[in-house]
Structure 1
Amino acid sequence: MSMGTADEDRIKLNTADSKLVRKRSLKLLGSLISPVRGRFIYTIVLVVLSQATRVAGPLLIAFGIDHALPSMINGNPALLLFTGGGYILAAVLTSVMTAGYVTATAQLSQAMLLDLRRRVFRHTQRLSLEFHEKYTSGRIIARQTSDLEALRELLDSGVSSLASGIVFMLFTAISIFALDWQTGIVVLLAGIPMFFLARWYQTRSQLAFRASRVVSAKLIVHFVETMTGIRAVKAFRREKDNGARYSELAEDYRKVTVRSINLNGIFQPGLILIGNVTVAVVLLLGGFRVLEGGLAVGALLALILSTKRFFSPVDQMAMFYTSFQSAQAALEKVSGLLEEVPTVRPPSEPIALPQPRGELVFRGVEFRYGDGPVVLPKMDLSIPAGQTVAVVGQTGAGKSTLAKLVARFYDVSAGSLTLDGVPLNRLSNEDLRRAVVMVTQEAFLFSGTVAENIALGKPSASRAEIEAAARAVGAHDFIMELPEDYDTDVNKRGGRVSAGQRQLLSFARAFLASPAVLILDEATASLDIPSERVVQQGLQSLLGSVAGTSRTAIIIAHRLSTVEIADRVLVVHDGRIIEDGTPEELISSGGRFAKLHGAWQDSLV
């Protein structure tokens, strides 16, 4: 499936947006250069000096032919020796300083890229959950991989090629004018067709390279999603369809890449043609002037060498422009990511909460996702410290949204949500994460050992504390059956654990963290019946008294076996609490919860 007009129109930016994006990209580039500006200036000085010594070669040749050779014929070889020595010295200095600026450029580019990689990673972590729920992981990976790779290619060699090329052409032009101003005019006139050819290439390649970045991101997204969801792919036999879709995207990428190559295939030979024609014109006009005695032979030779060398960097600069277009598109994407602002921000003047009790109060709380419709309308709710509250309701009723507000993954749109009388948005991230812990259905294990994964809840925990947490939630027995028990790497052979065991490890994390408020969002959904019974016992410890403190718990579940341990049940429907009471009270009332409870008992039979 090739990219059509609609895709191209979508990729194009209007003039105002283009200027804004360019300004944003240049601002990012400037911020990367600022910390290393000393090294940047040093590199520029090396570039200027190396190109100055490089340009001296043809001038010394002209001087040697027109002045040093006649002097030697007249019996004075000193001038020729001086000229030859100067030429050798210039060549040596050019080599040494070229090696110096190439090395300095590599060090400079790597320092800038290191800074940028850290920024992208740290900024992406700081962004709110709302961003990550709409910005796919594949696109984020593209920012960290293909986009930064395009910038690396530009900074490693492209910038040095451009800088050295421009300086060399400038010095060469000066030397040509110094030798013969008429030839200088010819070289300047050659710049006119070069300008129009470069302008033609710029307008077309910009669109092509921007399209290339878009298609590249789509390709990476599809690959990441396929590999991440490989179980579903296998289960539904989607290999053929996914392969076909990937082939379409790969074909799109091939086409936009070929389009860029074709443009360069016109641009680069066009520049070479202009250079060769200019050299021929200089040779023709200069030859007639030598015959007429208006130009010395050495000067003509130097002019031909200088003119030919004047256009030699054009080839490198054409390659730079190719890298530049790709890097510019990548820089636009990366700068756009860094421009994203967290919707949930830490307070400028946080209120300390050193010993949270776990009392939660909703007063007139309303919530909507972005500019969407209200999903929680006007909620008033009080949860005393130490109370275990179960939240039930149909899918999409607003249960998980309520949990995300308590965990402050999102801020309320209106009203207030307080913990022990302190608004959640006035707590520091450290106090909030210590006070509130959320366990979700997706129990993610990071690379490392079982013990390291449990210690995520408390990085400073001792081995004894880790094992105690595992015992409390019923995870110790299966951990001891692993090849290296608590030291087993969860991502290596023999360290694989089932979905239920993963969830037990996440419970151990929560137990170790010892929060004042624990949120379980469908946390037992992946457990089988025997495992669930073990977890129920662990939950009694997890939700009960630990270190003399009572724990507030919000349990969101479809399985009513988990609800039975709750002190209180909230039934949510369309974002509103329609029933509130103990499990026994709601069952006896014959309302919605009673029907859910009856259906659950029937399912057990």
Structure 2
Amino acid sequence: MSMFGGGFGGFNAGGHSSVGAAGKKGNGLPFSGIPTELAEGVAKLESREPEHGDPDVSFDPVADRGGRVAIVRLLAGRPRLLIAAAVAVVVETLLLQVGPFLLQIGIDHGITGRNMPILIAATVAFVAAVLLTGVATAARMRQSGKLAASTTRDLRIRIFAHLQRMSLDYYTTEKAGVTMTRMTSDVEALQSLIGDGFAQFGIQALTMVVVTAVLFHYNAELAIITLLLVVPPLLLLSLWFRRAADKGYERQRDAIATMFADLSESLNGVRVVTAHNRQDRNIVAHREVVGAYRDANDFTGRINAIYGPGSSVVGLLGMAALLFLGGRMVLRGSLTIGELSAFVLYLNAFFAPVQQLVQLYTQYQQARAAVGKINTLLTTAPSVRSAPQATPLPSVRGELVFDDVTFEYLPGRPVLSHVNLRIEPGETVACVGPTGAGKSTLAKLVTRLYDPTGGRILIDGHDLRDITLESLRAQIGVVPQEPFLFAGTLRDNIAFARPDATDAQVWAAVDAVGLRELVERSPDGLLTALHERGQSVSSGERQLLALARAFLAEPRVVVLDEATSSLDLRSELRVEAALDQLLEGRTAILVAHRLSTAMRADRIIVVDDLGIIESGSHAALVAADGRYAEMYRTWSSGVSRVVPDGS
């Protein structure tokens, strides 16, 4: 909008402020400290920063779970920024409406009245108003930008913290791309609304109020006639657009989430896609997904194409009626030329916000749909969480008891049924059985990734549901089948569960699992940066790093989920040697795919038919000639074919 009330350009005709900050932590690079010449500025910046929370506060999945996002509450939490932005909006709006008034004075009293001093004064005042409007616009953009950045920063942290609290079942049912959409495009839609949309809405709405008052001041009769011709059709058109936009932008958010999910899956599985020549078919499938997003955009584009030009036509017809009626008043002498000129410009200023409000309502609908998706996430409570009365788990010896445990992933389809098992402190128990029998489920129940559907699990007599998750997992080490290495250095990954470990403790873990050769040949030793997901090291070395991570954490109970199943023979021997160091004196549950690993355990349990069907040492189970003996004979014959006698 211009100083003439709209349509002629100006300081901020609907532009968006963009405030963002990017930072990296944990990238393995040493921090050399803040330069002396910047220290004073950093201190001032920190003094103005809001409280971001103590990074040493213990994590509790009970705290701050759920709760809907309300834009009003987000803004109300920052009263100073909100008030400063509101004041800037009011000042900017009032200054924008000074132009037509000064024009009327210049025409009626300067040009028509042939009074040069008044004409000069009106011109100087006009220029001053333009400059002051620029200052007010800059102040408004700065304050609203800071408000948006602060609000969405806290929202992103809140979403991330909630995702950290969510249980494993959430991530097995929800697509990663959909979850990423909540943190990216959904939050960005809200940031755009807060950073520029609300300010523009305030300016345009206040402009309509001020202009209406001015129109009645100039000529009430002309104002009433003009508004009656324009407002009713605009109102009906706006009500239709609101209903159509609600539907359109909800569909658009769903489509973009599906598109992100498909993209994420394709990128994560790119090696499989390439190996099986799925590129062409994946492109076709993604074309369908992108096509659905295009269709959603086409729908919103169609309704905007109706509403935007429709409102323009109504406004222009109103201007035509004003020109005819106002011109007759000028001819009769009841209205001056300057007043008619100001009236036309002010009426234009009344209709220009309508065009802006079309775009702002579009922006609002996008943010509203995004908030709905965010609220769906934030109100989803984790299925596994610490009870309000949960107490910290004291140091344990490592006794584990499954007491009549039943578990089902889907209602009515049990995976384990009435399982009873006691594991003595320091005992190593291997779980073997066919795929899908429930071996890994037993391991997940011990670490409380899931809770039993029936029965209970005890550690040293404590029901897992009566102790805090943090204290439980501090005493349980987990080594998965596919160890995940994070972006960072070798040291970062080894000390992941114990970041305060000393270099001596890290090196002790390195030597315990036989990783010294890898560290010493790496260009920067422990500070060598790993590629994404540890692709710069071999599968065996990734598994050894995971074992070193568990060793350094010093758990009382260790859970290994098929830790050697994907390794070659040489790597398996290295990992098994490291396992001997890790399991020494600790209670352990080994989910074993290879019987060579299971045979190292103190006891072997065979899991099948929803429970434990055999239990005993390797020799005892072979002698019993049951299910395990059958598995052992099959495994032995396979080994003998691979390595024939006398070779």
TM-score w.r.t. length of structure 2: 0.84
CA–CA distance in structure 2, aligned partners of residues 326 and 253 of structure 1:
14
Q: Could you tell me how far 1:348 is from its partner in structure 2?
A: 2.2
Gaps of 5+ in 2: 1-65, 641-647
Structure 2 residue aligned with 1:61: 103
CA–CA distance in structure 1, aligned partners of residues 170 and 383 of structure 2:
8
Q: Could you tell me how far 1:529 is from its partner in structure 2?
A: 0.9
Letter in 1 for 2:308: Q
Give identity over the alignment, percent: 38
Letter in 1 for 2:605: L
Distance 1:25 1:464, change over 3 A: closer
- Which of 205-214 and 552-561 deviates more? 205-214
- Which of 517-526 and 185-194 deviates more? 185-194
CA–CA distance in structure 2, aligned partners of residues 297 and 565 of structure 1:
102
Q: Could you tell me how far 1:88 is from its partner in structure 2?
A: 4.4
Structure 2 residue aligned with 1:131: 170
1:181-330 superposed matches below 5 A: 181-189=220-228, 190-330=230-370
CA–CA distance in structure 2, aligned partners of residues 261 and 388 of structure 1:
64
CA–CA distance in structure 2, aligned partners of residues 173 and 591 of structure 1:
91
**Which structure is higher in helix share?**
1
Q: Could you tell me how far 1:392 is from its partner in structure 2?
A: 1.1
1:150-169 superposed matches below 5 A: 150-169=189-208
Structure 2 residue aligned with 1:16: none
- Out of 567, 573, 576, the residue aligned to residue 611 of structure 2 is 576
Structure 2 residue aligned with 1:36: 78
CA–CA distance in structure 1, aligned partners of residues 626 and 548 of structure 2:
36
Structure 1 residue aligned with 2:639: 604
Q: Could you tell me how far 1:490 is from its partner in structure 2?
A: 1.4
1:523 aligned counterpart, secondary structure: coil
Q: Could you tell me how far 1:349 is from its partner in structure 2?
A: 3.1
Letter in 2 for 1:30: V
Structure 2 residue aligned with 1:14: none
Structure 1 residue aligned with 2:29: none
CA–CA distance in structure 1, aligned partners of residues 331 and 142 of structure 2:
47
CA–CA distance in structure 2, aligned partners of residues 300 and 206 of structure 1:
40
Q: Could you tell me how far 1:593 is from its partner in structure 2?
A: 0.8
1:377 aligned counterpart, secondary structure: strand
Distance 1:218 1:197, change over 3 A: same
Question: Residues 152-180 of structure 1: CA distance to partner in whole angstroms, max 9, x if unpaired?
Answer: 33233222211111111111111101111
Q: Could you tell me how far 1:471 is from its partner in structure 2?
A: 2.1
Letter in 2 for 1:157: D
Q: Could you tell me how far 1:493 is from its partner in structure 2?
A: 13
CA–CA distance in structure 1, aligned partners of residues 305 and 88 of structure 2:
32
Question: Residues 107-147 of structure 1: CA distance to partner in whole angstroms, max 9, x if unpaired?
Answer: 11111111111111111111111111111111111112222
- Which of 151-160 and 380-389 deviates more? 151-160
Distance 1:575 1:474, change over 3 A: farther
Q: Could you tell me how far 1:69 is from its partner in structure 2?
A: 6.6
Structure 2 residue aligned with 1:178: 217
Letter in 2 for 1:586: L
Letter in 2 for 1:368: E
- Out of 433, 440, 443, the residue aligned to residue 480 of structure 2 is 440
Structure 1 residue aligned with 2:552: 512
- Which of 400-409 and 325-334 deviates more? 325-334
Q: Could you tell me how far 1:563 is from its partner in structure 2?
A: 0.7
Question: Residues 333-392 of structure 1: CA distance to partner in whole angstroms, max 9, x if unpaired?
Answer: 122111111111123233233321111112222222263523222222211111101111
1:189-588 superposed matches below 5 A: 189=228, 190-369=230-409, 371-491=411-531, 496-544=536-584, 550-588=585-623
CA–CA distance in structure 1, aligned partners of residues 533 and 630 of structure 2:
46
2:519 aligned counterpart, secondary structure: helix
Structure 2 residue aligned with 1:5: none
1:369 aligned counterpart, secondary structure: strand
Distance 1:65 1:484, change over 3 A: closer
2:368 aligned counterpart, secondary structure: helix
1:405 aligned counterpart, secondary structure: helix
Letter in 1 for 2:604: V
CA–CA distance in structure 2, aligned partners of residues 62 and 371 of structure 1:
76
Count of aligned pairs = 574
Whether contact under 8 Å (1:436, 1:516) holds in the other structure is yes
CA–CA distance in structure 1, aligned partners of residues 110 and 522 of structure 2:
86
1:227 aligned counterpart, secondary structure: helix
Whether contact under 8 Å (1:488, 1:495) holds in the other structure is no
Q: Could you tell me how far 1:554 is from its partner in structure 2?
A: 0.3
Distance 1:439 1:372, change over 3 A: farther
Distance 1:152 1:25, change over 3 A: farther
CA–CA distance in structure 2, aligned partners of residues 330 and 493 of structure 1:
31
Q: Could you tell me how far 1:81 is from its partner in structure 2?
A: 6.4
Structure 1 residue aligned with 2:181: 142
Letter in 1 for 2:220: W
Structure 2 residue aligned with 1:7: none
Structure 2 residue aligned with 1:48: 90
CA–CA distance in structure 1, aligned partners of residues 240 and 479 of structure 2:
57
Question: Residues 183-206 of structure 1: CA distance to partner in whole angstroms, max 9, x if unpaired?
Answer: 221342211111122222222232
2:371 aligned counterpart, secondary structure: helix
1:112 aligned to 2:151?
Answer: yes
CA–CA distance in structure 1, aligned partners of residues 67 and 416 of structure 2:
39
Distance 1:136 1:372, change over 3 A: farther
Question: Residues 498-557 of structure 1: CA distance to partner in whole angstroms, max 9, x if unpaired?
Answer: 22221111111111111111000111111111111122221111111xxxxx21000011
CA–CA distance in structure 2, aligned partners of residues 474 and 79 of structure 1:
91
CA–CA distance in structure 1, aligned partners of residues 621 and 533 of structure 2:
48
CA–CA distance in structure 1, aligned partners of residues 159 and 564 of structure 2:
35
- Which of 267-276 and 282-291 deviates more? 267-276
Letter in 2 for 1:595: E
Distance 1:493 1:160, change over 3 A: closer
Gaps of 5+ in 1: 1-23, 545-549
CA–CA distance in structure 1, aligned partners of residues 543 and 574 of structure 2:
12
Letter in 2 for 1:238: R
Q: Could you tell me how far 1:84 is from its partner in structure 2?
A: 5.2
Q: Could you tell me how far 1:181 is from its partner in structure 2?
A: 1.0
TM-score w.r.t. length of structure 1: 0.90
Distance 1:335 1:542, change over 3 A: same
Question: Residues 455-475 of structure 1: CA distance to partner in whole angstroms, max 9, x if unpaired?
Answer: 113211222222221222233
CA–CA distance in structure 2, aligned partners of residues 559 and 321 of structure 1:
61
1:456 aligned counterpart, secondary structure: coil
- Which of 205-214 and 504-513 deviates more? 205-214
Question: Residues 18-48 of structure 1: CA distance to partner in whole angstroms, max 9, x if unpaired?
Answer: xxxxxx9984323321321331122112212
1:149 aligned counterpart, secondary structure: helix
2:566 aligned counterpart, secondary structure: coil
Letter in 2 for 1:262: R
1:102 aligned to 2:141?
Answer: yes
CA–CA distance in structure 2, aligned partners of residues 566 and 437 of structure 1:
17
Whether contact under 8 Å (1:72, 1:78) holds in the other structure is no
Q: Could you tell me how far 1:240 is from its partner in structure 2?
A: 1.0
Q: Could you tell me how far 1:413 is from its partner in structure 2?
A: 2.0
Q: Could you tell me how far 1:495 is from its partner in structure 2?
A: 7.1
Q: Could you tell me how far 1:575 is from its partner in structure 2?
A: 2.3
CA–CA distance in structure 2, aligned partners of residues 472 and 85 of structure 1:
82
Letter in 2 for 1:344: V
Computed over aligned residues only, the root mean square deviation of the Cα atoms, in angstroms, reads 2.3
